[in-house]
Amino acid sequence: MSEPETTTETPPTPGERRLSRAPSERYREAEARAAEAEADVRTRSEASTSVVRGVVLAVIVAMIGAVAIVLLGGVLTETTGLVAVAGVTGFGIGIALRWGAGTKLSARRRVGIAVLLAVAAVAVAQLGLWQNARVEGGVLSPLDYLWEVYGPLVPIELAVAAGVAWLVTR
C-alpha cells in the first residue's frame, strides 16, 4: 500500500487562512521591474552622452552668442539687449554642456568649462565689437574703445554670462 504523506507544515486551525505568499511580495516584484526599467533607460541615455559632444555643443552655442552680441552691439548699434544676450548665451552654454555631456563630467568640471566658455564668448564678442568699429574707421585700442562706448556694460555682461552659466550647470 501507499505510505501516508508527511508534511512539515502544521495543519491550519479552523477559521485560519494562510496565503501562499506574503502580500508585500507583489510590491517587491513591481519595484524590481521598475528598477530594471530605470537602469535600462539610464544606460541608454548615458550611452548617447559624451564629454566631447557636450563641449562641442557648448562651443557652438558660445559662438552663436558671440555673433549675436556683435550683430546687436556693432551692426545694429543697440546696447539695450546686450546683457540679456550675454545671459542667454551663458544659459545656452550651460544647458548644452549639461545635456551633451550628461553625467560623464563631474559637476565641478562642468561648471568650470561652462563659466570659461561663457566668459570667452563675451570676450570674443567684445573684440568683435572693437573690430567692427575699426572697420568703420575707429582708431582706439580695444580697452579704450570698449570703455568709451559701452562703459561698465562690458564687465556686467561678463558677470551675467558667467553667473548664469554657473547657475545652470551646478
pLDDT in tens, 131-142: 999 998 888 999
Rounded to whole angstroms, how far apart are CA atoms 29 and 10? 28
Say whether pLDDT at 8 is over 60. Answer: yes
Q: Let me know if residue 45 belongs to a domain.
A: no
Rounded to whole angstroms, how far apart are CA atoms 92 and 11? 70
* Mean model confidence pLDDT for the chain: 85
Q: Let me know if residue 35 belongs to a domain.
A: no
Question: What is the tally of structural domains in the chain?
Answer: 1
Which of the residue ranges 42-46, 55-59, 107-111 would you say has the lowest mean pLDDT? 42-46
Q: Let me know if residue 1 belongs to a domain.
A: no
In angstroms and rounded to an integer, the radius of gyration of the C-alpha atoms of the chain is: 31
Say whether pLDDT at 56 is over 60. Answer: yes
Reported as a single tens digit per residue, the pLDDT across 80-109 is 899 999 999 999 999 999 988 888 888 899
Q: Let me know if residue 13 belongs to a domain.
A: no
Say whether pLDDT at 52 is over 80. Answer: yes
Write down the residue that cell numbers 539695450 correspond to.
80
Q: Do you know the residue count of the chain?
A: 170
Q: Let me know if residue 139 belongs to a domain.
A: yes
105, 113 contact by CB (below 8 A): yes
Q: Let me know if residue 28 belongs to a domain.
A: no
Q: Let me know if residue 6 belongs to a domain.
A: no
pLDDT for 11: 64
Domain region containing 156: 50-169
Say whether pLDDT at 7 is over 60. Answer: no
Q: Let me know if residue 127 belongs to a domain.
A: yes
54, 100 contact by CB (below 8 A): yes
